[in-house]
Amino acid sequence: MTKKRISIFASGGGSNALKFFEYFENDQDIEIVSVFTNNKSAGVIEKAERFSIPHNVYNRNYWETGEVIIDHLKDQKVDYIVLAGFMLLIPSELIRAFSNRIFNIHPALLPKFGGKGMYGMNVHRAVKEAKESESGITIHFVNEHYDEGEIISQVSCPIALSDSPEEIAQKVLRVEHENYPKVIAEVVRKSI
Ligand code: GAR
């Protein structure tokens, strides 16, 4: 049986991407075959190199239609795409080409604290301002609207009123690392 092939899209440090590289390193059914980024100085590149996973840098212009990127993904025979801190909008052509095969993680409990402009620290600052007693993660399919695709899994974590946005971010990131690869493994294995 041929393994299911996942490509990771990331724009930043890539701590979630690293968890995927580790989790699937010796997996029988699933492999991480590539990384796509819009940022040539993204930390994820060095992490991918450590695992000998090829990376592809496409600047912002290429993400407007996604045409070249779709061809590249097809050449690589990619089955699924995992967004791991990818900060540009995925073009609708790409979403159509990989319908129900693109996953995202959002660092809060959607539908709260989602939508345009809600990414990274902006999310954790908003959670702090709203004086929430919990935050968490939402793993969902990607559709053409920011953060509105079907929810696959949510995991919450308690936060204290005294937590800074940075402390909330750390707590949430820990929950991301523990759950994201595991949840995606379950979804992809179901399709095998
Ligand atoms: C993660 O917290 C992820 O949930 C968030 O960016 C961070 C990337 O960290 N994604 C979004 O805000 C997407 N809307 P990482 O580069 O260390 O994995």
72-122: per-residue pLDDT in tens? Answer: 999 999 999 999 999 999 999 999 999 999 999 999 999 999 988 999 999
Q: Which atom of ligand 1 is nearest to the CA of 10?
A: 16
Nearest CA to ligand 1 atom 8: 85
Task: Give the mean model confidence (pLDDT) for residues 38-51.
Answer: 98
**What's the structural domain count of the chain?**
1
Nearest CA to ligand 1 atom 4: 107
The pLDDT, as a whole number, for residue 146 is 76
| Average pLDDT over all residues of the chain | 97
Q: List the strands of the sheet with 4-9, edge to edge.
A: 55-57, 30-37, 4-9, 80-83, 102-106, 134-141, 151-158
- Decide: 105 and 84 in contact? Cβ < 8 Å: yes
Scored b (16 or more CB within 10 A) or e, 45-82 reads bebbeeeebebbebeeebbeebeebbebbeeeebbbbb
What backbone torsions phi and psi does residue 47 show, to the nearest 5 degrees?
-65, -40
% residues pLDDT > 90 (the chain): 95
Q: Which residues pair with 155 in a beta bridge?
A: 137
Q: What is the CATH number of the domain that holds 44?
A: 3.40.50.170
Which of 9, 11, 15, 177 has most ligand 1 atoms within 8 Å of its beta carbon, as the pocket-test mutant?
15
| Domain range enclosing 13 | 1-99
pLDDT of residue 154: 98
Q: Locate tokens 């690392």: which residue?
A: 177
pTM given for the model? 0.97
Q: Is residue 120 part of a domain?
A: no
For residue 39, being part of any structural domain is answered with yes
Q: Would residue 167 count as lying in a domain?
A: no
Q: Which residues line ligand 1 (CB under 6 A)?
A: 10, 12-16, 84-85, 105-107, 119-120, 123, 173, 176
**What atom in ligand 1 is closest to the CA of residue 105?**
4
Marked catalytic residue, from 55, 72, 106, 140: 106
SS3 154: strand
Q: What is the largest CA-CA distance in the chain?
A: 51
When pLDDT is averaged across residues 12-29 and rounded to a whole number, the result is: 98
Assess if residue 88 is contained within a domain: yes
